[in-house]
Amino acid sequence: MCPTIVPYTYEAKKEKRIYFTSLLKDMKILVATEKPFARKAVDGIRSIVEEAGYQLELLEKYTEKAALLAAVADADALIIRSDKVTAEVIAAAKNLKIVVRAGAGYDNVDLEAAKARGIVVMNTPGQNSNAVAELAIAFMIYMSRNRFTPGTGCEIQGKRLGIHAYGNVGKLVGRKGKALGMEVVAYDPFITDDAVFAADGVKRVSSVEELYKVSDYLSLHIPATEQTRKSIGYDLLMSMPKGATLVNTARKEVIDEAGVIAALSEREDLKYITDIAPDAAAEMAEKFGKRFFATPKKMGAETAEANINAGLAAARQIVAFFKTGDTRFQVNK
């Protein structure tokens, strides 16, 4: 177990300074990404880490959990994407003090296990939002044009776009939808002030039920939590207008897959497109043909810009945490 790192002070005695300096030099920041960052992002992370006097280690494209367990053994800090940081990983990381999820959703980290060990968990909110928002819009167009196969499609201009959860991504999707001539409505259980939505020219609706009922395109931006698990299913889909499309760039866990299958089976006008392959992807593809699409691997945040924004933010947050104790983006307080 490493001693606690305290900020460097000029008042410190000479020996103490040498001690801190040597501690900082030995600090190991591990980037563990099963789905690697763009090279430019890794180079940027390395610069930040090394300028701070720490070492960077990379574990990319790993396929076995054992590789992650071995790599975290002597890591002081960990940068991840959707990589699973379970209680087992935390137990194996004896020196770990901070985990930064370079991205928005942190449902892949066992927050309680980290908290029990005093490990700070952070995300980098907003840093990859634009990439995800652009994909959501692309998904709408892709489904409206029969997945780019021959046949008459339809335009998204003049249609109503519903945003489910008005956070960083939801707001950007709304803004882009408006720029494309869509009418935008939104619902967020945590934002009840109409003015927040009105400022963006968006109309707030007062319930999830109302949102789905009026949305030709429904863009999902809720996190995966105990409350949202399997919360989107048969009833909501069946209430949607004729020809409606459900767009999921959030999480597969929020979908009740049996409910979606039942709704799309009953209503041949409904469509579902998702950036996170459902467990029942093969069945959905076979049953619904062009009305269903899932990306082979989650690609919402797969842009150089998003990787650079989120990766560099993660590195900076780690340096700020070690140097000044900054815990601004902590999600497991």
Binding positions for ligand 3PG, rule: CB under 6 A = 35, 81-82, 103-105, 128, 298, 300-301
Shortest Å distance, C-beta 293 to ligand 3PG:
18
d(CA 93, CA 71): 8
d(CA 186, CA 252): 21
Question: Please, is 210 exposed, middle or buried when counting C-beta atoms within 10 Å of its C-beta (0-12, 13-18, 19+)?
Answer: middle
Q: Which is nearer to ligand 3PG, 125 or 243 (CB)?
A: 125
d(CA 151, CA 144): 11
Query: Alpha helix locations (H) across the chain?
Result: 14-26, 39-51, 65-72, 87-92, 111-116, 129-144, 168-179, 194-198, 208-214, 234-238, 257-266, 281-288, 304-324
Shortest Å distance, C-beta 315 to ligand 3PG:
15
d(CA 317, CA 263): 44
d(CA 70, CA 87): 14
Shortest Å distance, C-beta 169 to ligand 3PG:
9
Q: Which is nearer to ligand 3PG, 211 or 276 (CB)?
A: 276
Shortest Å distance, C-beta 37 to ligand 3PG:
9
Q: Which residue is nearest to ligand 3PG (CB)?
A: 103
Under DSSP, is residue 20 helix (H, G, I), strand (E, B) or coil? helix
Q: The tokens 């574990």 sit on which residue?
A: 59
Shortest Å distance, C-beta 128 to ligand 3PG:
5
Q: Which is nearer to ligand 3PG, 124 or 245 (CB)?
A: 124
Shortest Å distance, C-beta 299 to ligand 3PG:
7
**Greatest Cα pair distance in the chain:** 77
Q: Which is nearer to ligand 3PG, 82 or 248 (CB)?
A: 82
DSSP at 221: -
Shortest Å distance, C-beta 236 to ligand 3PG:
22
Q: Which is nearer to ligand 3PG, 35 or 147 (CB)?
A: 35
Q: Which is nearer to ligand 3PG, 77 or 261 (CB)?
A: 77
Question: Please, is 265 exposed, middle or buried when counting C-beta atoms within 10 Å of its C-beta (0-12, 13-18, 19+)?
Answer: exposed
Q: Which is nearer to ligand 3PG, 106 or 321 (CB)?
A: 106
